[in-house]
Amino acid sequence: MSNVMHACLKKIWIALFAVFISIFSAQLFSPRVCFSSEAEQDRLLQDLTSGDVFVDTEEDVQLVTEYVCQNGHVHNEKGDLGKCGVCGLGLKEVIHGKKLSRRENISERIEYLTEEIAEKRFLFGISSTGILQQILHGYGGHGFTAEGSVDLLFIYRPFGNMTLFLDLEGIGGNGPDEYIDSISGLNDDAGDFQEENGGERLSVREAWCELGFFKNQLTLVMGKIDLTNYFDSNAVANDETTQFITSVFVNNATLEVPVNGPGIASTYEFGGGVYFGLGLQSSDDVESGRTHGMYGIGEMGINSYKLFNLEGNLRFWGKMNEGQANNKGLGISIDQQISESVFAFVRYGINERDGAEVKSAWSSGLEMHHPVNSRQDDKTSLAFGRTKAVNGSEEFVTEMYYKFVINKHFSITPSIQTIFDPVGLDDRDVVTLMGLRTQLEF
C-alpha cells in the first residue's frame, strides 16, 4: 500500500466529513415556521397528517411551544420574569409543529411493556438482522462475507414490579473480521455466539429477572445479562442492528466487558435526570465452566436537558476486571442533541496496561434525522475513531451509513467503512468495505 493511496483515502474521508458539516449546518440554522393563531395551528396539523405528506404509522405530530427573544435565543419555559436568561430582553411565545418518530428497539419494547402493564403482560418479538460486506480495497482486494442473526424475544410481567426477559439468538457467519484481524471490529453483530468449529447454533443470549423498588426508582436485574445494556449507553452509537456496525462505535473498546454471563445490575434514579448504576458479572461465559474472577463496573449519568434545553446525556464509568489481572479503566460517553434533527456523540476510555488489550480509545460522530424531507424516518450518520492497543499498535476507523426506513417493520442500511493500519495485517494496509444491512422487526 503506497503512501499516496493512504493519503488519498484520508482526504476522501475528510471531504465527506466536510460535506456532512455543511449539511448539518444547513439543518442547524434552518428557520422554523411559527404560528400565532389557532387556525394556523389546526391547518399545520391537518397538513402534516394528511396523505399529501409522507408520515409513517409510528409517527406522532405535536405542537411545541417555545419562548424567543428579539436576539433569537430560544427557551422552553417563560420563567417568572418573562425575560431572556441570556440577554435580558422580553420573551415572546411562538408555536411550531414538530414530528416525533417512535423508533422501537429491544430496550424500548421492554420499557413500553413496563408502562403499558394494564394492557399487556406478555410480549413476544422477532428481530432479524442480515449483513453483507464486501472488501473493496486492501487484503488483496477480495473478501465477501454474509452474516445473519435472529432473536426471539419473550417478555413477561407477572407482577407490577417484576419483569422476566428471555432472548434466544441464532447466528451464522463471522463477518470480515475472519479475514481482517482488527481491534476495532468490523461487524459487531457477527460471531459472538458461534461454535468453535464455525457451526451455527441457537443460544440463550440473555435470561434475567428485573425487580423495581420505591416506585421503580431503584431497579435490580439478575440472571444472564449483557452489561452493555446498562453501561456505556449512547443514543447515537449503541446498536449494531440499527446504527453503526463497527464495534468501537457500538461500545467503547476499553470497556472490554466479558461475554454475556451470570451477573447483577442495579440502577438508582436520584431525580432531576441523575442516576447511578452498579454492575457485577462473571468474567467467563456461563457455559465455559471456568471462573477467573469478577467484572465490576459503576456509572454516574446526568441528563443534560436542563443545561442546554436540548436532549442529551453525560455518562462517566469506571471498571475493574479480575479476569485481566485486576485491570482498571475509566471512560465517558456523551450524546447531545444539537438541533431538532442533528445529534452528536463522543466517547473516550483509558485502561491500565497490565492485563488489558486496549490502552485507550476515542470515537466521535454526527447523526441527522430525516435528511430528505419526504423521508421522515430515515437517518444518516458519520463517525471516526482511534483505538490504541497496549503493545503500541494503533487503528483509525471510519464509518458512514444511510438508513432507509421502508416501514415500521423493515429497514435497509447501506454503509461504507475504512480502517487504517489494521493490527492483524502485516503490511499495515488500508482496508475499505461496502456493506448492506437489512433489519426486520415484529
CATH for 237: 2.40.160
Average pLDDT over residues 194-210: 72
- What residues contact residue 78 under an 8 Å CB cut-off, 6+ apart? 67, 91, 93
- What residues contact residue 420 under an 8 Å CB cut-off, 6+ apart? 6, 9, 10, 395, 396, 397, 430
pLDDT at 125: 86
Domain housing 33 = 3-53+59-101
Residue 175 and residue 194 in one domain? yes
pLDDT at 61: 40
Nearest to 250 by CA among 295, 298, 196, 190: 190
> Are the C-beta atoms of 268 and 274 separated by less than 8 Å?
no
Is 43 inside any structural domain?
yes
Distance between CA atoms of residues 361 and 348, nearest Å? 6
Is 389 inside any structural domain?
no
If you average pLDDT over every residue of the chain, what do you get? 78
Place of cell 429477572: 209
Is 396 inside any structural domain?
no
pLDDT at 287: 53
Is 199 inside any structural domain?
yes
Place of cell 447501506: 414
Residue 123 and residue 263 in one domain? yes
pLDDT at 16: 57
Is 216 inside any structural domain?
yes
Residue 22 has pLDDT above 70, yes or no: no
pLDDT at 64: 52
Residue 157 and residue 266 in one domain? yes
> Are the C-beta atoms of 423 and 181 separated by less than 8 Å?
yes
Residue 192 and residue 205 in one domain? yes
pLDDT at 355: 82
Average pLDDT over residues 339-362: 92
Residue 81 and residue 29 in one domain? yes
Residue 257 and residue 325 in one domain? yes
- What residues contact residue 314 under an 8 Å CB cut-off, 6+ apart? 301, 302, 304, 332, 333, 334
Of 330, 357, 384, the residue that ends a domain is 357
Confidence band (pLDDT; 50, 70, 90) for 334?
Answer: very high
Residue 111 and residue 97 in one domain? no
- Residue 153: phi and psi, rounded to 5, are -110, 130
pLDDT at 376: 83
Give tens-digit pLDDT for 253-301. Answer: 999 998 889 999 999 999 888 999 999 998 765 555 555 689 999 999 9
Nearest to 158 by CA among 185, 127, 186, 121: 121
Residue 90 and residue 199 in one domain? no
Is 323 inside any structural domain?
yes
pLDDT at 108: 54
- Outline where 54-130 has alpha helix (H): 106-115
Average pLDDT over residues 97-108: 42
pLDDT at 90: 73
Residue 441 has pLDDT above 80, yes or no: yes
Residue 237 and residue 271 in one domain? yes
Average pLDDT over residues 221-250: 93
Residue 75 has pLDDT above 70, yes or no: no
Structural domain count of the chain: 2
Residue 35 and residue 157 in one domain? no
Is 428 inside any structural domain?
no
Residue 124 and residue 273 in one domain? yes
- What residues contact residue 187 under an 8 Å CB cut-off, 6+ apart? 131, 133, 145, 147, 175, 176, 177, 240, 245, 247
44-53, 171-180, 342-351, 394-403: segment of lowest average pLDDT: 44-53
Is 236 inside any structural domain?
yes
Residue 65 and residue 184 in one domain? no
Confidence band (pLDDT; 50, 70, 90) for 374?
Answer: confident
Of 38, 73, 101, the residue that ends a domain is 101
Average pLDDT over residues 114-136: 77
pLDDT at 1: 46
Average pLDDT over residues 128-151: 83
